[in-house]
Amino acid sequence: MSSSVSSQHDQVLVEENSFARILTLNRPKQLNALSFLMISRLLELFLAYEEDPNVKLVILKGKGRAFCAGGDVVAVVHDIWAGGWRAGANFFMKEFSLNYLMATYSKPQVSILNGIVMGGGNGVSMHGRFRVATENSVFAMPETALGLFPDVGASYFLSRLPGFFGEYVGLTGARLDGAEMLACGLATHFVPSAKLPMVEAALCDADSSDPVIISSIIDQYCEKPSLKEQTVYNRLDVIDRCFSQRTVEEILSALYMPPKTKICEPMLTQEREVVDQRDGWIFATIQTLKKASPTSLKISLRSIRVGRVQGVGACLAREYRMVCHVMRGEFSKDFFEGCRAILLDKDKNPKWEPSKLEHIADTTIDRYFSKVKDEDWEDLKPPTRSKFNLPPYVIAKL
């Protein structure tokens, strides 16, 4: 037990500094991938700090070149192999509870995203009030390549990006830099990494939980970054035209076709190839979608669309149902195959089953959104929150 507690504390470093608490994710060799111990420790600390009147804000950052590269999926898979799907469900229950607490936190959370922030790393940052990007930031939700789907409340925050940019990011796993994160709203501020120590010092001296004051402090060190010439953010017109389509199949058809071509019109294979290769970005996007798990693409698109009309709590509860179905492997074992091919054997050649989009019926996708048929299974039960103690920007998420 003492060894477990020590490991838990080593993986999340705590610094008490005036009115702030600085938490550092400390698994740099694993790119700060979230272990069950880390998630449990963060949940414990955030709950304690909310009740402590001496704590005005929480700063979260990562040690090394990553903020957090995601949940420790390899450990989850090994736990499932050893103890059954419930072992995986327990991990996600705890993780999603932490995500919900952060999304509804009554005090400002400032996440310093100075490096890689992917998957579960977005779950412990995007829900917080302030997300500070730098020139080193790299954002992605790469789950469809693993046979999973954008979880950790991603159906909430991706669906609220401009136009249909969230569908694009969620389905393709596209990587965004700090300037792109700021442009689309994933980041609230952009600060050069050289100025981060000054930002932290100023925040620690702030005797306030007022978001306006906290934001103004960060603003003093901000710069407005320039989008690179080939930024995907300049393709929003194409993204909106294509990723607004109703199904994944229609999204692919739209990508193949020039803007003036009606999607219902047939297109010869050789004509598609001409359109396909004329634009390098479109070609790469199509190839990425073709390599992803067909099942993952379909449940991901449905999830983000449903997320547009749900609050953050409902999104996380639904995603918990979905991830439990994925862990059970009842409808598809793509998650385990994706982890084998990408993370374990690393042959990068997953054998998806079903292998084609057209082989997956809508009724199969419906099952991922239903309750798990297991008498001992329960829906997600996140920490109880009182609306009377929450600021307006938090209540709006509910």
- Catalytic residue list contains 120: yes
71 is catalytic: yes
**Can you tell me the distance from the alpha carbon of 221 to that of 231, in angstroms, rounded to the nearest whole number?**
24
Strand, helix or coil at 54? coil
Take residue 101 and report the two structure tokens written for it. Answer: 């607490």
Catalytic residue, chosen from 70, 71, 88, 170, is 71
Residue 143 a catalytic site member: yes
Residue 64 among the catalytic residues = no
Residue from 79, 151, 167, 319 carrying the catalytic annotation: 151
Chain mean position to CA 115: 15
Q: Say if CB 299 and CB 110 are below 8 A apart.
A: no
Residues 6+ apart with CB under 8 A from 378: none
Upper half-sphere CA count for residue 275 (Cβ side, 13 Å): 18
- Rounded Cα–Cα distance for residues 254 and 239 (Å): 10
- Catalytic pick among 72, 95, 143, 180: 143
CB-CB contact of 293 with 365 (8 Å): no
131 contacts 112 by C-beta, under 8 angstroms = no
Write out the H or E segment, with its range, that includes residue 118: strand 116-118
Name the H helices within the chain.
2-11, 36-51, 73-83, 85-103, 120-123, 154-157, 165-172, 178-184, 196-204, 211-219, 236-243, 248-256, 269-278, 280-291, 294-307, 312-328, 334-339, 362-368, 392-395
Q: Find where tokens 């079903």 sit.
A: 354
Query: With contact defined as beta carbons under 8 Å apart, do 158 and 141 qualify?
Result: yes
Q: Cβ(379)–Cβ(331) under 8 Å?
A: no
- The residues assigned a catalytic role are 71, 120, 143, 151
